[in-house]
Chain A
Amino acid sequence: MKKLFTRGVIRVSALAACCAVGAMMAGTASAKDSIKVGVVTFLTGPAAGPFGVPGKNGAELVIDAINAGTLPAPHNSKGFGGATMEPVFIDEAGGGAKQVAEYRNLVEKQNVDAVIGYISSGSCMAIAPVADELQKLTIMSVCGTPRLFEEKPRSHVFRTQGNAVGDSIAAARYMVEMFPKMKSYTGINQNYAWGQDSWKFYDLAMKKLDPASQASDKPQFPKIFSGQYSAEISTMLLDKAPVVHTSFWDGDIEAFMLQGLVRGFFQQKKLVSVVGGSAVDSLGKKFPDGVVLGTRGKYGLLVREDMSDPLNAWFVTEYKKRYDVYPLGPSYQYAKAILYYKLGMDKAAKAAGGSPNQDQVMSALKNMKFNSFDGEVSMSLGEGRQAVHPVGYGITKWNAKKGEPGIEKVKYYGAECINPPAGTLSEDWLNQGMPGAKCN
């Protein structure tokens, strides 16, 4: 018995020694003249093409420019508070729970100084509590769910993209203003969180802005990535509603456009596409004229021709030069999040007179107002952590002269026209009929 016990002890300690070796594989601490930042975006799967890769390209372009100090003034100082950024790109595919595991690896294994990114609202909602738990500065770049800051106050999370309620209010305002005679509307949205929310907010906003407007009782919710929409198209063609709202993206919007085109769908219906920007370039001339198109901000197609803002002019030109395509919405969104981090680092470094610590950076980031590639951004909601900015819509029109997609009648709605005042929940504000909205 005693012998057995001794042998047991030896075995336990041998195994313990093995495990301890693993435990001692510690990560290396980063030097002060360079910072390591995790950049998370879809690199594989269906969201990589329209969102992930343009996002990554936008981030890379701006990181390189900031490291070299070649951004236009006033952002032309070199580095992030003087430090060079070394990005670590991580794939966002696979769902929220998987992202939590990878986020922990980024923070605890790779010892990054901050994490920037996330496209899907599911990822953002899953990451936010972990970011607060691990106390790591995290800047969300694309996701739109209003729940992020409205459900719970956050301590380490920031978001540089306005929330989805604002996108829908802007869409509804545009429709009421430009097509006041089209009173009824239906929708085709993918049956998952983003599609359901988009329809819900658009419907609410329309009801409040024009009480005479009427939603169809047959809005369509096909399965995400189903790719076949003939049944839905037939149903909507029979529907009397002249307006069709869609939050489709990726291959789904391309498939829908092509299938609708052969059926003459777009001659009979006015389509409102909230994030169809990626399809405009990939379909080219096949993309129908007359579609009401938004990009969730002053991004992509809406501002491609507009060279009045030097930051936007630089971004469009350099992006086109480097990747041979135009920047899309996510390119701007990632570039903005990176720029925001730089400005926070610069401000904190100046105040601290050296390398700032995380708390100093976070207090610099809070309530910041800055000029980004998409114009003015103000971190005024969610206790100074949530951005508001104008959102615009326009109508597609093929530019025959340049042989490129074009857009006309672009209109922007200011931040205070589509967002609630601080402290009010977006959905409540929408339900109350948007009191105090300041539209010019």
Chain B
Amino acid sequence: MEFAGSEPGVRAVAPLATALKILVAGGFGVGKTTMVGTISEIRPLHTEELLSDRGIGIDDTAGVEAKITTTVALDFGRITIRDGLWLYLFGTPGQDRFWFMWDELALGALGAVVLADTRRLQDSFPAVDYFEQRGLPFVVAVNCFDGARRHDPTKVRRALGLTGSAPIVLCDVRERDSVKEVLTTLVTYAISGEFS
């Protein structure tokens, strides 16, 4: 691979590579990983963060001999928009005590999808509250499982107590076109700037 880019006409190696983040949040078992897998060009990748008993999210400047007590799994998928421009979809860890990881994921993120199951809408409250407070654009995607009643978006909006203009989309996370629609709705909303 060529790294010299000083000569005219010699292409520098992707000097402006950019990766954007979209978070996929929602309650346990609502279909976050399925959604990521449906649209990702790669089988969702898995990584882990090790947590120490020194305290979660506290910067340990000594940085030694931290005893590990637990791990947080993080699954993500990728969409290559073009060479040097990628979109990453991160499924957020479900448990509340991992909020610190949400902070990192949300920093600089394009936006978020809050996946909701109408049978357990309350599971979506923490994510909705979180993104509203951060001023991060988000859409609520209601996953219509087989047999689940197709809910009226207006009722879902009321039930969730959505105060802002976040769009609500009915979707099936197993269907690629449906997930595409969720994502295009989110990006369009982010561009509109209506959330801020």
A interacts with B: no
Which residues of B are interface residues toward A (Cβ below 8 A)?
A: none
